[in-house]
Chains A and B, each alone.
Chain A
Amino acid sequence: MDILEKLNILADAAKYDVSCASSGVTKSNTTKGIGNSIRSGICHTWTSDGRCVSLLKVLQTNNCIYDCKYCINRKTNDIPRTTFYPEEVAKLTYQFYKRNYIEGLFLSSAIEKSPNYTLEKMYQTVKLLREKYQFNGYIHVKVIPGADLRLVYNIGLLVDRVSTNLELPTQQSLDLLAPQKKMAALINPIRYVANNLQITPSIGYGEEKFVPAGQSTQFIVGASRDTDFTLLKASEILYDKYKLKRVYYSAYVPINEDTSLPALTTTPPMKRENRLYQADWLLRFYHFKADELLDSKNSYFDEDLDPKLFWALRHLEFFPIEINSANYQTLLRVPGIGPKNAQRIIKERKLTSITFQSLKRMRVALNRAKYFITCNGKYNSEISLDSNMIKSYILENAKNGQMSIWKKN
């Protein structure tokens, strides 16, 4: 099979993994090498579904011994199977990188023969890239649960980020959809990586530095019956206890027919995925707790409202807040104000007072923010602070195309 055919198969099978970030680490090139990284990450192109492409995302192989019901590569599926040689992936990455198509490599794999056999092959691939090709760009490797942790350690010294996909947040869901997977076995490498992150001193790249860009995971949304609350609580634990850098949410695209899965005609729950991402940002950058956003009675977000607005409308006693005196934490609670603008407001108001006009120039989303704030004591919305009124006004505006669900925060 030629490289073009292999690439088609092994890129196509990898695309359902939504993580593609190249963020979290800044490093300069070495004199003889190729490649660098910047902390914010870089997108190189966007697919026709609007997702950023930053890394060459491929599987080492799609030969799998597992039979997870939601997965395209499950062993009982009749699809073309193939495997990359380590040299093939390394060369492809190097040549793509040189042309500035990508920021680096995201290497995942189906489980061929055994977890150790599979991860060993992935190790050879990244070793070739780093040593033979002197590649200093970004590498993200998917850890294979069940593989020897020493192998995980050795890979961790070569790559920037590792991830272990939990896919489902509870053992019950795993039992139903991925009966060969056990939550404890999945958590094991995550815990191992977290522990090693803490003991490795931060020294320059190229020396012994263990996964400098941290680790991440992914949940599938909509394949099981798990609620938004269950998912968000799970994410919160992963952030707090295991210091994860990112949790990704992937709206389930039905590929396989099975009675325990949504029907093949089900459209992916894109809005739900979007709301979960927004809530995830609230956990990481806005000091929100999962319990503030949802509870066992209200266990799903409102698809029409972003989670912060959803929260604000149930906590009107908190508002309106005065832009010229509220502290940073309080500013962050206002729908339509993000960390960047909250910082700008704090800096600027020491020198001059902030007006609605100023907020507009900062591109604060006033269509949402205006109901919750005052500027120098002035309240500048046409309606009073009433949650039903505000909701209907905002939705009306959204219908008129003023608010896109794709706008984050």
Chain B
Amino acid sequence: MEEKLILIYDDSFEGILTCLYYQAKHNNVYTISHKPMQKNIFVKHVYLKTNFKLASKMHNFLERTCSKNFIEDLYYCNLSSSDNKGSAILQYFKLAKDFGKNVNKLFSHQEAYPLRRLVRQVNLERHRFYGLLRFSEYDTFMLARYAPDNNITELIMPYFADRLSCNKFVVLDEKRSFAGIYDTKNWFIREGVNSKLFRNDDSDIFKKLWQEYYSSVSIKERTNLSLRSQHMPKRYWKYLTEINKEND
């Protein structure tokens, strides 16, 4: 019997595709992780270097045998912050061997579910930040800071690029030091951006108007704070212009 392996990759999408290529070739991958795992004496740890050529081969193969949706699911899952995303992707990939294109129709299947759950979380957070991201005027552009659970900056950039169209803007993920930058034509991601580069400007009159507006629209006879936190978890509040002031 061939020895089982744990593949460690660099968190990139091409990285995970390289791992899947390896699994397709050798069929001996025990699990995949983007973080070093606790040593297990029965399986060998291998740091697998991302290979763009093999990744693109895998990509084409998946497009042919599964579907674009399938690849998108892997892609979304890989943006999750979960430690188990590598193994969820591997499980789902193995399932596709049996079900082919039909794998997309499986939701609650034991081997599909871990990936579905993570994809749903990433999707939910993407949708939430369409609404919860807050821009302020900064110099010649609009600036938004946030700290999402998952690495969703590249998912929300196309949406805001369409929305703000002729306004330049920067979306800053302070947790990962990632910046999404839009120059009115294209957008791109820059890594290792220090958030201290930008100082907060508190003189914006519309910020104040928004805070006032927010406090005036609540109906006090209907107060239901737990319902609010259910929709808008407290971990997101730090960056919300309207709640900062309220302080509760």
Contacts and interface: CB of A to CB of B under 8 A. Distances in A.
A7 B232 CA distance: 25
Interface in A1-19: 3-4, 7-8, 11-12, 14-16
A16 B220 CA distance: 11
A96 B164 CA distance: 12
Contacts of B206: 92, 95-96, 99
B232 A46 contact: yes
A98 B137 CA distance: 9
Contacts of A54: 131
Q: Which 9 A-B pairs have the closest CB atoms?
A: A50-B227, A358-B108, A49-B222, A361-B108, A50-B224, A47-B218, A44-B131, A347-B105, A42-B131
B230 interface: yes
Interface of A: 3-4, 7-8, 11-12, 14-16, 28-36, 38, 40, 42-54, 56-57, 92, 95-96, 98-101, 103, 251, 253, 267-268, 270, 344, 347-348, 350-352, 354, 357-359, 361-362, 406
Contacts of A95: 206
**Which size class do B's interface residues fall under?**
35 or more
Contact of A56 (B113, B213, B228): B213
A253 B107 CA distance: 43
B134 A50 contact: no
B144 A100 contact: yes
B162 A43 contact: no
B177 to A, nearest CB: 22
Given A48-B225, A99-B241, A270-B222, 17 more contacts: A12-B217, A29-B165, A45-B240, A46-B227, A46-B232, A48-B228, A54-B131, A98-B135, A98-B167, A99-B135, A99-B142, A100-B144, A100-B160, A253-B221, A267-B221, A351-B105, A358-B108
B130 interface: yes
Contacts of B222: 49-51, 251, 253, 268, 270
Interface string B149-192: 00000000001101111110000000000000000000000000
Contacts of B219: 15-16, 47, 49, 253
B61 interface: no
B212 interface: yes
B24 interface: no
B136 interface: yes
Given A31-B165, A43-B131, A11 B224 contact: no
Contacts of B242: 45, 101
A42 B163 CA distance: 13
Given A42-B131, A50-B228, A99-B135, A351 B99 contact: yes
B55 to A, nearest CB: 29
A33 B208 CA distance: 25
Given A28-B162, A34-B166, A358 B240 contact: no
25 contacts: A12-B217, A33-B166, A34-B163, A34-B167, A36-B163, A40-B127, A43-B231, A45-B132, A46-B232, A50-B230, A52-B231, A53-B217, A95-B206, A96-B206, A96-B210, A98-B135, A99-B241, A100-B131, A100-B160, A268-B222, A348-B109, A351-B106, A352-B106, A357-B108, A361-B108
Contacts of A358: 108-109
A45 B214 contact: yes
A contact face: mostly helix, strand, loop, or mixed: loop
A33 B184 CA distance: 12
Contacts of A344: 107-108
A4 B130 CA distance: 27
A34 B159 CA distance: 12
Interface string B17-29: 0000000000000
Contacts of A30: 165
Interface string B116-158: 0000000000010011111111000010100000000000000
Contact of A8 (B127, B142, B216): B216
A327 B162 CA distance: 41
Given A32-B166, A101-B241, A3 B209 contact: yes
B contact face: mostly helix, strand, loop, or mixed: helix
Contacts of B220: 49
B223 interface: yes
A44 B142 CA distance: 17
Contacts of A33: 165-166
Given A36-B162, A45-B240, A348-B106, A98 B216 contact: no
A367 B162 CA distance: 43
B164 to A, nearest CB: 6
B223 A48 contact: yes
A402 B36 CA distance: 38
Contacts of B99: 351
Nearest to A10: B216
Contacts of A34: 163-167
Contacts of A361: 107-108, 113
Contact of B221 (A12, A99, A268, A352): A268
A45 B105 contact: no
A4 B223 CA distance: 24
Given A352-B106, A361-B113, A29 B217 contact: no
B102 interface: yes
B169 to A, nearest CB: 10
- Of B99, B107, B133, B212, most buried by chain A (CB within 10 Å of CB) is B107
Interface in B226-246: 226-228, 230-232, 240-243, 246
A359 to B, nearest CB: 7
B217 A35 contact: no
Nearest to B232: A46
A54 B240 CA distance: 15
A348 B105 contact: yes
Contacts of A53: 214, 217
